[in-house]
Amino acid sequence: MFLKDKIKINSSKRFEIIDITAKVQSAIDGTGINNGIINIFSKHSTSAIIVNENEKGLLLDFERILKDIIPSNNSYKHDTVDNNADSHLKSFFIGSNESIPINNKKLAIGTWQSIFFIELDGPRNNRTIELTIIGD
């Protein structure tokens, strides 16, 4: 079976880490798929999808490291277009999708793992995350 679904996300800050694990699991719950794989893809070039631990200190460290590695206002060529080159560059490094196994109708993620949508150029409304589910 092959299914598609979407999640819409609203962000409230320029940089924001949003846990979407429950929304992704809810999408799986409605499919009847027992085992397979789900791909979570952000349709925006100034956002990202990652899997990691949902621990406040770690998330703050991640934000700080990204800002240190790719600072804003660094005379980027793309800033002449729409002044958000740092957001695009961060997305290059992080990536726009994750694929996760589904086992017994559940996301097969580790005990401490969560799925995050990373907003890099917010605040924004109606960010679209495309879900592609393949399984039986």
Average pLDDT, integer, range 32-56: 98
Question: Three-class SS of residue 40?
Answer: strand
Joined together, the tokens standing for residue 84 give 């958000």
Domains of the chain: 2-135 (2.60.120.460)
Mean pLDDT over 2-17 rounds to 98
Tell if the pTM clears 0.85, that is, is over it: yes
The CB density around residue 82, as the number of other CB atoms within 10 Å, is 11
Q: Is the pLDDT confidence value at 73 over 90? A: no
CB-count exposure of residue 111 (10 Å: 0-12, 13-18, 19+)? exposed
Please state whether 28 falls in left (phi above 0), alpha (psi between -120 and 50) or beta: alpha
